[in-house]
Amino acid sequence: MMLRTLCRTGGALLQQTQRAAPRLWVTPAQQRWASSLPLNTVVLFVPQQEAWVVERMGRFNRILEPGLNFLIPVLDRIGYVQSLKEIVIDVPEQSAVSLDNVTLQIDGVLYLRILDPFKASYGVEDPQYAVTQLAQTTMRSELGKLTLDKVFRERESLNSNIVHSINQASDEWGIRCLRYEIKDIYVPPRVKESMQMQVEAERKKRATVLESEGTREAAINIAEGHKQAQILASEGEKAEQINKASGEAQAVLAKAEAKSKAIRMLSDALTEQNGNAAASLSVAEQYVSAFSKLAKETNTILLPSNTGDISGMVTQAMTIYSSLAKTSTKVEEEKKSEDNKYQPPQ
């Protein structure tokens, strides 16, 4: 019965003390509540994700785990209550100067967690204030290394650098910074106007460059078109000349072959019986045809003295032909005799 009464009394006192227990990282203004710590009621129930630091006669004794715990009256007292949850801290807005001497107003959000309640209790007097001040000073230091343009472009890199710098200092406090996020960056109005003008100028520059590139590509395409057209025209003219020359050559060959055949046929006809009579008739016909065309082609006519003596003209032509025939026959006989002379006897 005494134990049951003691447990009930301890539970009632625990509920009253938990209502008045301080929360270390709760208010948006980041101020700790000036409330008393839980009292030693012998039997204590520690909530989940909390660590209660127990001091015995003013010296650190142990850290109570979540659940049922027993303390020695009078000797033991709860010195600190630490939350093991992820804690969110608003970093107040502050001014910082960039590398190119531009004053910025910047604020952020810090996410951290207590890993060692002993260090968080005895390593620093006010962990929240210490981490907040460290975040602000680190932010100013990192912003001073970057120009205004890089602050906006390398925002993620800036956040990671701030987290790394905070963790180097807060390791002795038992606190681990998980991440840091920049919420807003405020620039002076004049600087904002200059940035807008710079953006407009950059866009105009890009538009001009794109337009010039388009004009250049169009000129190149037109020149390439003219070049291809000239090449095709020259190739066409070349092919035309080749075809024309080939046609003329074939025509000359055809005429030569026809003339050669005509001469062979004429020579064959002359060697036959009455060939001289046929030749005389052909010469007479050509003679009459030639005189019939003289008056049609020109007004100036040169006539021989014996124009009307057709038989005389034919006789003269046949005489010339007979002499040429005799000469050719004599040349052939001499050639045969020379061939026989150099031919070895059988």
Cβ neighbors of 87 (< 8 A, separation 6 or more) are 25, 111, 112, 113, 114
pLDDT at 36: 64
The pTM for the full model equals 0.48
User: Could you report the per-residue pLDDT of 18-70, keeping only the tens digit for each?
Assistant: 443 434 444 443 344 334 688 888 898 989 988 899 999 888 888 988 889 88
- Classify each residue of 57-90 as buried b or exposed e, where b means 16 or more C-beta atoms within 10 Å of its C-beta: eeeebebbeeeeeebeeeebbbbbbbbeeebebe
pLDDT band for position 111 (50/70/90)? very high
- The pLDDT mean for the chain works out to 76
